[in-house]
Amino acid sequence: MRTHNTMDQLICDDLKAFERRLMEIVSTERPATRRWRVILCVSSLLTSASAFYWLNDPKTARVSLVDSLVTHYLFTINCLILLALFAMGIHKRVVATSIIISRTRQVLADFAMSCDDNGRLILKPRQPVKSGIEHLKI
């Protein structure tokens, strides 16, 4: 009887440690994710605004593309920055926390658990295990 209580306590301690670590990872990752979202939004807005001025310039239709891009250097620079950000993987960094949580939920589903968006564990009631013969019946 005593070993059963000790094992339950060890399992409970392990789950608590796992939950604390998961919450730590999520809370550590959030500021970086927020920062990358702000960078992406600012870059997108600057590119959109400079594209608006580039497309509304009457000279754009009359000169070559290269001359137009040289004339509207802010648009050119913003496009290059946006391309560089996507090449560096900003599209993954913007959703890093969501990726961590969704992958953790996939793994925890095998153990009748889940987690919320902050990394707190959610214990689900176990589904009864069906024998192999029962679900083969027609």
How confident is the model over 93-108, as a mean pLDDT? 92
What digits encode the pLDDT tens for the residues 33-55?
999 999 999 999 999 999 999 99
For residue 39, being part of any structural domain is answered with yes
Given pLDDT bands bounded at 50, 70 and 90, which one contains residue 111?
Answer: confident
For residue 109, being part of any structural domain is answered with yes
CB 127 within 8 A of CB 77: no
For residue 74, being part of any structural domain is answered with yes
* pTM beyond cutoff 0.75: no
For residue 40, being part of any structural domain is answered with yes
pLDDT at 64 over 80: yes
How confident is the model over 89-112, as a mean pLDDT? 91
pLDDT at 24: 94
Domain limits at 93?
A: 2-126
* Cβ neighbours of residue 53 closer than 8 Å, sequence gap 6 or more: 72, 74, 75
pLDDT, mean over the chain:
87
How many domains, in total, are found in the chain?
Answer: 1
